[in-house]
Chain A
Amino acid sequence: EAQVTQNPRYLITVTGKKLTVTCSQNMNHEYMSWYRQDPGLGLRQIYYSMNVEVTDKGDVPEGYKVSRKEKRNFPLILESPSPNQTSLYFCASSLSLAGANNEQFFGPGTRLTVL
């Protein structure tokens, strides 16, 4: 089944304890992206990747890192999480034909709480 998977689905942690949220897609998509969703603010892009070893900042990259060593995986890393990073996180992927009309497929979401 074609899908985007994220792990974990729920995570409660404490300030400063490094964590990684994994994202994997099995559709051979070039483009992958991380969003956070907060009430009243909608989905905001954190980082995106156009292909392996190609990553770039989105609209709210502060406090996050990503890597794209393989095409299928795009982990989101919080080196020192803070309470303002409590949010619902979505990973998404699409075929990357810049300018073409490819929809983005979303993962199931990771609800992160930082105490």
Chain B
Amino acid sequence: EDKVVQSPLSLVVHEGDTVTLNCSYEVTNFRSLLWYKQEKKAPTFLFMLTSSGIEKKSGRLSSILDKKELFSILNITATQTGDSAVYLCAVKLYNTDKLIFGTGTRLQVFP
């Protein structure tokens, strides 16, 4: 059975800290891995990763994929209260548009 597992489930940090969110997967026909940020509404797209070892970066957020070890990490440096959200990892399979989601990591950043 295809599955995506995220850890930790929840994380509480102070502003300025750096956090690392993990996503591991066991799927057949892996195509790409996506990260979404979900605040009190719909998930919004952050990154899509298809190749190992190539870091994607957007401001204080960065992500990398390891297709050999079947995981990805999402790093957030110098966290701000606006980073508080649930971060969702999803895997897309080949030849389909289906996304398999992990349960998410809830990040809370306090001032």
Contact = CB atoms under 8 A, between A and B. Distances in A.
Nearest to A45: B98
A108 B32 CA distance: 24
B110 interface: no
Contacts, number: 57
B48 A101 contact: yes
B64 to A, nearest CB: 16
B34 A98 contact: no
Interface residues of B, number: 24
A106 B97 contact: no
Interface in A57-115: 58, 90, 94, 96, 98-99, 101-109
Contacts of A35: 101
Contact of A42 (B41, B42, B101): B101
Given A43-B101, A48-B97, A50-B97, A106 B88 contact: no
B32 A101 contact: yes
B42 A103 contact: no
Interface in A28-46: 31, 33, 35, 40-45
Given A106-B42, A108-B41, A109-B42, A45 B99 contact: yes
Interface of A: 4, 31, 33, 35, 40-45, 48, 50, 58, 90, 94, 96, 98-99, 101-109
10 contacts: A33-B99, A42-B101, A43-B88, A43-B101, A45-B98, A48-B98, A98-B96, A99-B94, A101-B31, A106-B42
Query: Which 3 residue pairs are nearest across A and B when measured between Cβ atoms?
Result: A106-B42, A42-B103, A43-B101
Interface of B: 31-32, 34, 36, 41-45, 48, 50, 88, 90, 92, 94-99, 101-104
